[in-house]
Amino acid sequence: MITVAEALVRCLEEEKVHIIFGYPGGAILPAYDALYHSSRVRHILVRHEQGAVHAADGYARVTGKVGVCMATSGPGATNLVTGIANAYMDSIPMVILTGQVSISHIGTDAFQEVDITGITIPITKHNYLVKDPNRLPTIIKNAFHIASTGRPGPVLVDIPKDILQEKIEFSYPAKVYLRGYKPTYRGHPTRIKDIAELIAKARRPVIYAGGGILSSDASAELLQFAEKISAPVTNTFKGLSGFPGDHPLFLGMLGLHGTLYANRAITECDLLIGLGARFDDRVTMNIAAFAPGATVVHIDIDPAEIGKNVKVDYPLVGDVRNVLRALLPLLQETDRSPWLARIAELKAEYPLTYSREGGLKPQYVIERLSAITEGNAIVATDVGQHQMWVAQYYRFKKAGNLVSSGGLGCMGFGLPAAIGACMGRPTDQVILVTGDGSIQMTMQELGTMVEQKLPVKVLILNNYSLGLVRQLQKFYCEGRYIAVNFDFNPDFSLIAKAYGLPSYTLRTEEDVDRLLPEALSLPGPAVIECIVPEVENVSPMVLTGKGIDEAIEC
């Protein structure tokens, strides 16, 4: 007989959880006491619960494993909510463990009582409130299974303190029995043959690949597929790194801040093959003008996504990797020279460009970062202009190496996510690209980074403003700028010094060429601040109501 808290730790060990990110408190204290005796599960103490959930998110993205975090009841649990929503929007496998007040106190407004299962119903794939101590092992087994199968997502398990202290006879289930939960992994063979015939007849196909490519580990199959049918590939933001950034068939990102040539290729294509993508609003913009002459194929493991936003001619439910593996033998290598020549014309006519006058341009910094690292670094970002410049100018060569908040657009995600990524793949170079606004939301996690001796390089693009909001105010508020300029920013070099970190301040291209390689080559962490113009905008941009082929330079 062991306590439920001890059983919880045994469950984590059975699931081969090696790292858990968390912050202790009263209601979850028995679980921490049990964790004290484990030699197989390492706990990482963050500086804020939001840091724990984002770190678990970053860990999951780069490893493909389920990320795990833990917090106490009340404010501990509610501080996780933003990160849970972020993981839900981006389909990240995660198990969140929260403490809860004792069963007898639930519903009495007890100290630090919050209905966290009720709060998180809309932002979890599933959640549990443990009421029967004997059910705990089964619930944990189910939680990990649900989080990691089908379309991945976060699962929350809320455990009252008195339940944690009860004793049970421990037995961990060997299998999962969930009636009604049976994701479809194999695409229908007849529909796969139909799609193969459709591809053979197409003259101007475009592959539109989203985050499902990474979730299903289908990057190799995507490359084979694109090369075999001679079709260009455009990625959603979340799909970036799923196709080599230096490949001749790569069109870059599409949509709101996508490349002009990707957007125009979508507009001109006669067959659009959607793989693991949501057809979300930042991709399609004006739906009526999106791929107007194309037959649309949509392959996704989540049937709820197919046809949700865009009319689909050939829907197929299934895991992207399995579907591509079944599709590849049915395809013939095809000569599409006229279409590829047209793609080359579009790339030549509408390249990504920026002016190098007027100070150190952030685009230049990202270009140099990509060149120095040869596109092989894990790059975490926060949310804002810097995020879009990474999407446009960093040429990812390894699948899963972009760690960023896509669907939720969560400022403050970057630093803790970079910490999680570094712990998940400690031999890879990890670089955080952030802005002066975003970094100040979770800057306290520098303490976690230093304490864990993680060699993360923190690159801050400092324009003394909330740059992307400012850009929106320029176009939608007639230049009435309010609440976007920082009249005061801390001295980031002194912040770095306070945490015992080396720092660099770059103001010119010469500084970047001379100092950025040196900073990136340091064996430990460092802070690199780049002073960039306040008025620089992300270009191109599609304004609200316009089609993606109507993007403007700005």
- Per-residue confidence in pLDDT tens, the chain, 554 aa: 999 999 999 999 999 999 999 999 999 999 999 999 999 999 999 999 999 999 999 999 999 999 999 999 999 999 999 999 999 999 999 999 999 999 999 999 999 999 999 999 999 999 999 999 999 999 999 999 999 999 999 999 999 999 999 999 999 999 999 999 999 999 999 999 999 999 999 999 999 999 999 999 999 999 999 999 999 999 999 999 999 999 999 999 999 999 999 999 999 999 999 999 999 999 999 999 999 999 999 999 999 999 999 999 999 999 999 999 999 999 988 899 999 999 999 999 999 999 999 999 999 999 999 999 999 999 999 999 999 999 999 999 999 999 999 999 999 999 999 999 999 999 999 999 999 999 999 999 999 999 999 999 999 999 999 999 999 999 999 999 999 999 999 999 999 999 999 999 999 999 999 999 999 999 999 999 999 999 999 999 999 999 999 999 99
Q: Are 275 and 212 in contact (CB under 8 A)?
A: yes
Same domain for 244 and 137, yes or no, is no
Tokens of 345: 């014309």
The pLDDT of residue 343 is: 98
Same domain for 332 and 440, yes or no, is no
- Count CB-CB contacts under 10 A for residue 235: 31
The pLDDT of residue 333 is: 87
| Residue 275 lies inside a defined structural domain of this protein | yes
CA distance to 153, 302, 490, per residue, from 47 (Å): 24, 36, 19
CATH number for the domain that contains residue 335: 3.40.50.1220
The residue whose two tokens read 């002066």 is: 436
Same domain for 309 and 391, yes or no, is no
Same domain for 344 and 367, yes or no, is no
Residue ending a domain, choose from 315, 349, 383: 349
Same domain for 383 and 305, yes or no, is no
Q: At 250, phi and psi to the nearest 5?
A: -80, 130
Same domain for 23 and 160, yes or no, is yes
Domain of 20, in residue numbers:
2-168
Q: How many angstroms separate the CA atoms of 186 and 327, rounded?
A: 11
Q: How many angstroms separate the CA atoms of 520 and 532, rounded?
A: 19
Q: Are 12 and 34 in contact (CB under 8 A)?
A: no
The residue whose two tokens read 């802070």 is: 527
Same domain for 286 and 200, yes or no, is yes
- Count CB-CB contacts under 10 A for residue 443: 18
Tokens of 446: 């520098």
**Of 287, 315, 312, which Cα lies nearest the Cα of 302?**
315
Tokens of 319: 């895991």
Identify the H or E element spanning 343: helix 337-349
CATH number for the domain that contains residue 131: 3.40.50.970
Helices (H), 36-115: 49-63, 75-78, 81-89
| Residue 354 lies inside a defined structural domain of this protein | no
* One-character DSSP codes across 200-221: HH-SSEEEEE-THHHHTT-HHH
| Residue 548 lies inside a defined structural domain of this protein | no
| Residue 479 lies inside a defined structural domain of this protein | yes
Q: Are strands 154-160 and 126-129 parallel, antiparallel or unpaired?
A: parallel
Same domain for 22 and 158, yes or no, is yes
Q: Are 424 and 446 in contact (CB under 8 A)?
A: no
Same domain for 128 and 252, yes or no, is no
Q: At 464, phi and psi to the nearest 5?
A: 55, 35
Burial class (CB in 10 A: 0-12, 13-18, 19+), 338: exposed
Q: Are 135 and 158 in contact (CB under 8 A)?
A: no
The pLDDT of residue 116 is: 98
The residue whose two tokens read 């190098």 is: 356
Which distant-in-sequence residues (6+ apart) come within 8 Å of 199 by Cβ? 205, 229, 271, 273, 331, 334
Is the peptide bond prior to 540 cis by the omega test (within 30 degrees of 0)? yes
Which distant-in-sequence residues (6+ apart) come within 8 Å of 116 by Cβ? 73, 77, 78, 98, 100, 156, 158
How many Cα atoms are found within 13 Å in the side-chain-facing hemisphere of 454?
Answer: 30
| Residue 554 lies inside a defined structural domain of this protein | no
Rounded to the nearest 10 degrees, the angle between the axes of helix 362-373 and helix 385-393 is: 50
Q: At 160, phi and psi to the nearest 5?
A: -60, 150
Identify the H or E element spanning 476: helix 467-476
For residue 167, the SS3 value is: strand
Tokens of 454: 């993680």
**How many structural domains does the chain have?**
3
| Residue 519 lies inside a defined structural domain of this protein | yes
How many Cα atoms are found within 13 Å in the side-chain-facing hemisphere of 3?
Answer: 19
| Residue 376 lies inside a defined structural domain of this protein | yes
Same domain for 458 and 485, yes or no, is yes
Which residue type is seen at 355? S
Q: Are 399 and 235 in contact (CB under 8 A)?
A: no
Q: Are strands 526-531 and 457-462 parallel, antiparallel or unpaired?
A: parallel
Same domain for 112 and 227, yes or no, is no
Phi-psi region of 464 (alpha: psi -120 to 50; beta: other; left: phi over 0): left
| Residue 537 lies inside a defined structural domain of this protein | no
Q: How many angstroms separate the CA atoms of 164 and 175, rounded?
A: 23
Residue ending a domain, choose from 299, 322, 349: 349
- Count CB-CB contacts under 10 A for residue 296: 20
**Of 467, 445, 436, 449, which Cα lies nearest the Cα of 529?**
436
- Count of residues in the chain: 554
The pLDDT of residue 382 is: 98
Same domain for 197 and 91, yes or no, is no
